[in-house]
A = this chain, B = another copy of it.
Amino acid sequence: MANTHLWFTELQNEDLTIGLRIKKILHSEQTEYQTMDVVETVQYGNMLVLDGCIMTTDKDEFVYHEMLAHVPMHTHPNPKKVLVVGGGDGGIIREAIKHPSVEKAVLAEIDGRVIEISKQYFPHIASGLSDPRVEVHVADGILHVQNHPNEYDVILVDSTDPIGPAVGLFAKEFYQAVFNALKEDGVFAAQTESPFINQDLIARVYRDVQDTFPIAKLYWGTVPTYPTGMWSFTLGSKKHDPLAVNTCRVADTKYYTPEIHHASFVLPKFLQELLRK
């Protein structure tokens, strides 16, 4: 269907929507885990939608993928083995393997259809999945983490919202399992929603990560297609301080720079106060 009067509307919460004019609906299916749609938008190019929520778009995917990957990856001085939980579109893997030290990057995505459809409609995002260093597991990330103690240098959690298949990825038990799956100087980061409309979640996750890791920090970036445009990430580290980073290993970014790395940890006052509660 091609119709310039067709709009995609995401109910970002009960009281808030984003709407995007659609050029074409490219794909729709019900997978084992969720509904999945791919639509071509005028504003942001191709867009992946899971259970009605925008996951990624051609035009703004770089912010989220670079920020979730490069901040923790640079925090580790020599990341060799990396796990991405979720992230079936491949964007986090693509960024992670830009770090030359990486020998193996494992993707544990529960929904294999997301991987297949991303390869078809988002080839520039999924490009890293065919790298020889990458192992793709269609598997429950929680089980994978539980079954691989003391194995990873960096674990990146690229989940959907904390409802449906992803709810376990926001649980304290999961952060403990992530801690155990990391080597003695491992680093972890997860996407943790909008500081404007998910404050209870952010405060709770931050406390849980703080209880689990010696170093816990919140950082943020600006993602136009996510609710409110401001997006948070929570980082847990066993040893390395993310604020001590002074190297940059990747040149071909569109958002991340060493200066953005540091600026992303500078929190607006309302967010500082939220974490102090």
Interfacial residues, chain A to chain B (CB-CB below 8 A): 7, 9, 13-21, 41-43, 60, 62-63, 196-197, 220, 222-224, 228-230, 253-257, 259-260, 262-263, 266-270, 272
Contact check, A268 vs B230: say whether CB atoms are below 8 A apart. Answer: no
How far apart sit A263 and B272, CA to CA, in the bound complex (Å)? 15
Which residues of B lie under 8 Å from residue A229 when comparing CB positions?
Answer: 222-224, 228-230
Contact check, A19 vs B18: say whether CB atoms are below 8 A apart. Answer: yes
User: Which of B20, B41, B254, B259 has a CB less than 8 Å from the CB of A270?
Assistant: B254
Q: Which residue of B lies closest to A224 (CB)?
A: B228
Known A62-B270, A222-B228; 15 more pairs at CB < 8 Å: A9-B19, A15-B20, A15-B42, A15-B43, A16-B20, A43-B197, A196-B224, A222-B230, A222-B268, A228-B229, A229-B230, A255-B269, A257-B268, A259-B266, A263-B266
User: Which of B7, B17, B270 has a CB less than 8 Å from the CB of A255?
Assistant: B270
Q: Which residue of B lies closest to A230 (CB)?
A: B222
Nearest chain B CB to A232 CB, angstrom units = 11
